[in-house]
């Protein structure tokens, strides 16, 4: 798995969710990871609402018995982003002894 860097976050916010966290992370790095993951979580919420209402369907998506609906896909992706947000909050609490909001 690819290790996350600040440049990778700048290239694609989803990298903050999908890439492995490095061994050393300072406060700025954790803030960047959290902000990117929070953006991903919020965007998937918007996409899930649009998918539920029939306004969004991923390109090349075709219904099949094994494939989740666009709505379910968005919910799953949003949950993955949410878990990364919560992980960063936990790391900040353990490493810095404060809430993430106090770090920002």
Domain locations in the chain as residue ranges: 25-103
Predicted confidence band at 68 (pLDDT cuts at 50, 70, 90)?
confident
pLDDT at 60: 76
Q: What would the mean pLDDT of 77-92 be, rounded to a whole number?
A: 96
**pLDDT > 90 in the chain, percent:** 70
Please state, in angstroms and as integers, the Cα–Cα distance from residue 59 to each residue in 4, 11, 56, 82, following that order. Answer: 27, 21, 9, 24
pLDDT in tens, 39-65: 999 999 999 999 999 898 878 777 777
Q: What would the mean pLDDT of 70-94 be, rounded to a whole number?
A: 94
Q: Are 48 and 30 in contact (CB under 8 A)?
A: no
């Amino acid at each position: 798995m690819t290790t996350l860097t600040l440049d990778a976050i700048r290239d694609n916010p989803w990298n903050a969710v999908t890439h492995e966290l490095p061994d050393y992370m300072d406060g700025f790095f954790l803030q960047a990871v959290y902000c990117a993951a929070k953006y991903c979580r919020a965007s998937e919420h918007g996409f899930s609402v649009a998918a539920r209402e029939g306004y969004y369907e991923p390109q090349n998506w075709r219904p099949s018995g094994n494939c989740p609906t666009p709505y379910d896909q968005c919910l799953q992706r949003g949950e993955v982003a949410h878990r990364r947000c919560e992980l960063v909050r936990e790391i900040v609490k353990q490493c810095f002894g404060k809430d993430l909001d106090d770090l920002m």
